[in-house]
Structure 1
Amino acid sequence: MRTLKDSWFMLRSDFRGDKLKILGTLVITVIFMCYLGGMTSLVANDVLGEQDRTMITDFLFLSFIPLLGLTFSRRSMKYWSEDSYTKMLVYLRTLPIPAAVILSRRKLQGVCSFILNGTLFFGIVYLLGENFRTELAVPSYIAFAITWLGFGFMVSGLYIFIEYLFSGKAYLWLTLLIVVLSWGISFLVTLGGGNLFLYSISYSKEWGLLSPIMWGSLLLGTISVQLFSKWTIHRLKSRNLV
């Protein structure tokens, strides 16, 4: 409980910082989510209308959704050129803050990002996607969105692990590897005659907020984040930040 309280205090302190930077982060977030949501809606809306089992929608959702857990700040944009995540860790290590609190703060930040970015992303997809509004009532669409956000939680644990334990350049290459793996999974699912996107639509339409895959994805996402957090804390003890 103390860890959660301390991490929440740190997160609140971030929001009380430079108001201009916070405004800039919000503007970048809105622009980026409009771009991702608009592009995804155009593709997914056609796939939903034609019931086409193409791999493109699976690839878009598998690769885009985990990004909703990121904060699109200057630090995240400069991770490759300035190794900003490592510099942040160096700074935090100079303070009497336990690693568990640092990780808890990052998880809370991720939850806030998923809520904000997820609302923008899925809101835009629904508003622009006529076939989404035709196929899914609002509760069913919420179930669809939460199902994919649960998947985002699963992968976000891995992103946090990479973020805290690797340099900026390694982070870039590992992120690209995740994108390649997303493509590979999409290809294999399509090769087997399936489609994750249409499957999630079907379950959400049939079950609504009682969808078993929605609750299952949230459960697996929570477990994934916790396991990766414990692993990250363990590995942080031996990471050389010099």
Structure 2
Amino acid sequence: MTNLRQAWIIVRSDFNGDRLKLLWSLLWALLFMGYMGGLTSMIIQDTLGNGDGKFLADIMFMTVIPMLGFTFSKRTMKYLTEDSYTRMLAYMRTLPIPAAVILCKRKLHAVFSIGLNGVVFFGLIYAISSNLRHELPFPDYLAFTLTWMGLALVISGLYIFIELLASGRAYFFYVLLFTLIYIGTALLTWLAGGNLILYTVSCSREWGLLSPLMWGTLILGTLSVQLFSAWTIHRLKSRDLV
């Protein structure tokens, strides 16, 4: 609890000290996630209507959902050119801040980002797609949303691990590799005659907020963040930040 309290104080002081940082994050979340949500909603509309766009809908979700855990900030945008994550860690190491607090701060950012980006992304999808509203009343759609947010948590644990332990260039190639894996997963599902979106809709409609799939992804997401966090702290002790 002490680490969480210290991390929250740092996050709060960051935003209080630079209100433009918070405004920037909110603006980019609204612009980027708003655009992706609007585009995805039209694809889902077709998928639930005439059956077209099933493969494209899966690709959109599999590539956008991992981005829910990103905080849109100057550090995020310049991780490749300036290796901003490594520079941040090097600076933090000069301060009397334990690695556990740094990691807890990053997890708070991930939870905040998934919440903000998720509300914008899934809110627009539900607002625009009349077919989705017909298929899923709001409580069932909430289960649908939480299912995919759980998947975002699963991936966030891995991304935090790589973000804090790899250089900006290595991080870029890892993200590129993972994106290819997401697209490959959607392709294999399509070739097998399945569809991830329709399956999630079906589970949410049948079970609602008692959906085993929803609770499974949320539990796996929590475990992923905690396990990767423990591994990250262990590896951070020996990471060379020069």
Bin of the TM-score, shorter chain as denominator length: over 0.9
* 1:131 aligned residue: 131
1:112 aligns with 2:119: no
TM-score by length of 2: 0.97
Tell me how large the CA RMSD over aligned residues is.
1.2
* 1:235 aligned residue: 235
Does the Cα contact within 8 Å between 2:29 and 2:120 map onto a contact in 1? no
For 1:72 and 1:24, locate their aligned partners in 2 and report how far apart those are by CA, in whole Å.
7
**Structure 1: 5+ residue runs without aligned partners?**
none
* 2:89 aligned residue: 89
2:239 aligned counterpart, secondary structure: coil
Shift of 1:23: 1.4
Q: Please show how residues 124-203 of structure 1 align to structure 2 within 5 Å.
A: 124-203=124-203
2:17 aligned counterpart, secondary structure: coil
Shift of 1:21: 2.7
Q: Which moved more, 1:214-223 or 1:2-11?
A: 2-11
For 2:113 and 2:223, locate their aligned partners in 1 and report how far apart those are by CA, in whole Å.
19
Tell me which amino acid in the other structure corresponds to 1:73.
S
Q: Which moved more, 1:177-186 or 1:3-12?
A: 3-12
For 1:216 and 1:52, locate their aligned partners in 2 and report how far apart those are by CA, in whole Å.
29
2:90 aligned counterpart, secondary structure: helix
TM-score by length of 1: 0.97
For 1:228 and 1:100, locate their aligned partners in 2 and report how far apart those are by CA, in whole Å.
12
For 2:66 and 2:220, locate their aligned partners in 1 and report how far apart those are by CA, in whole Å.
14
1:14 aligned counterpart, secondary structure: helix
Does the Cα contact within 8 Å between 2:126 and 2:132 map onto a contact in 1? yes
Shift of 1:52: 4.8
* 1:46 aligned residue: 46
Identity over the aligned pairs, expressed in percent? Answer: 56
Give per-residue Cα distances to partners, 1:156-213, cap 9 Å, x unaligned.
0111011101111111111111110001111111122211110000010111111110
Does the Cα contact within 8 Å between 2:44 and 2:53 map onto a contact in 1? no
The total of aligned residue pairs comes to 242
Q: Which moved more, 1:10-19 or 1:194-203?
A: 10-19
